[in-house]
Chain A
């Protein structure tokens, strides 16, 4: 396992470098938008990665609630933090692209708003983790994750109904996309996921170590002789 980490690191670096080259120089320029569309290669893979990590967080939270396994909790923490980072990238790159193409920074369209609400829920999740201490933090956080997951369909549905009565800017449908663009998209996604996994790995290890430190401290507090 120890050797796997540097291998993954090298793989990530290669993938990110290659996919950057593909996205910037190889992928065809968009007919309508010109070069500015290339930010989509960072925007969309970040969104997919964010959803993947949030899904991981949800599954780990459910596992924790059922099994009370501290490893599941460490997975949940690490996944939530990395998910928030990717989601932030999505929310920042989106407006940068939307301004020249749509002419506006932001619109309360269902996809944008749901992503924003998802980000808000997970930021509140991280704040809850920061403010709760001791053994109850995982339980509280896991139940919040379950509530967030239950909330998302309602959020999407309500905003979809709220906004589809108005005309809204539409991104080109999947069908009209050049197959070469798909290829670069997936390549970037692979690079981002590898990078996410790399950070996730370290963060997970850190959380496990912190759990061990806490446990040792608790044991020492109970029995002073054990520290000698």
Chain B
């Protein structure tokens, strides 16, 4: 059990079980994303041709905002009964906790995306003209890009006043290249005008760079006094 991978598994299983029973994160994310979809479709009312061009942006903005509501709850859960303090004084490696939390958020956001995508297709009359299978790596890499930094910055904003507001303020500027890549890759796939290969590679590079940075710095941030 004291293996780092064992700790990851145990923490992840605990978070998933908690989520399965309470459904706090997924419900709030789903409802939030639904609201964004409905409000956007009121304000644009696009034709099929037009919506191909703007859907990439809409989809990712909706997922980004929805993900923030889940990311904010990541560490808040551990504050009850001083669970986080207990973790800090335990000899368990900090990175196991970080990875478990990041994997947990990744699963939540991927589930959200899987549930919301049919709705987007319905409301915006979407049909991809490019290779649709490329949306899978874009979604996976893009979600990891949001979630790995989001989990890290949620741990930072946990230590500040008005922490719920801090997270998007820290996360969005850093995520700009990842968002640009996600939006452009999705738009290229939907319109079929251009290859999205470059953007997928960029997302991969972003993921590698920031996963390493998070693993390097997480313990420092967790132990900050």
- Separation of A165 and B117 alpha carbons in the complex (Å): 30
- CB within 8 Å for A133 and B161 given contacts A139-B224, A148-B174: yes
User: For the complex, is A8 an interface residue (Cβ under 8 Å from B)?
Assistant: no
Residue of B161, B177, B210 most packed against chain A (CB within 10 A): B177
Interface residue tally for chain B (C-beta within 8 Å): 29
Among B177, B184, B220, contact of A151 (Cβ-Cβ < 8 Å): B177
User: For the complex, is B215 an interface residue (Cβ under 8 Å from A)?
Assistant: no
Among B152, B159, B217, contact of A132 (Cβ-Cβ < 8 Å): B159
- Do A154 and B202 touch (CB < 8 A)? yes
Interface residue tally for chain A (C-beta within 8 Å): 30
**Chain B interface secondary structure, helix, strand, loop or mixed?**
helix
Find chain B residues with CB under 8 A from A155 CB. Answer: 176-177
Chain B interface residues toward A at CB < 8 A: 149, 152, 156, 159-162, 166, 169-170, 173-174, 176-177, 180-181, 184, 198, 202, 205-206, 209-210, 213, 217, 220-221, 224-225
| CB-based closest 8 A-B pairs | A136-B224, A139-B224, A120-B173, A154-B177, A131-B160, A158-B177, A132-B160, A121-B173
Chain A interface residues toward B at CB < 8 A: 65, 117, 120-121, 123-124, 127-128, 131-136, 139-140, 143-144, 146-148, 150-151, 154-155, 157-159, 161-162
- Contacts A139-B220, A159-B180 known; list 14 others, CB within 8 Å: A117-B173, A121-B173, A127-B166, A128-B170, A131-B162, A140-B156, A143-B156, A143-B217, A147-B174, A155-B176, A157-B177, A158-B202, A161-B202, A162-B184
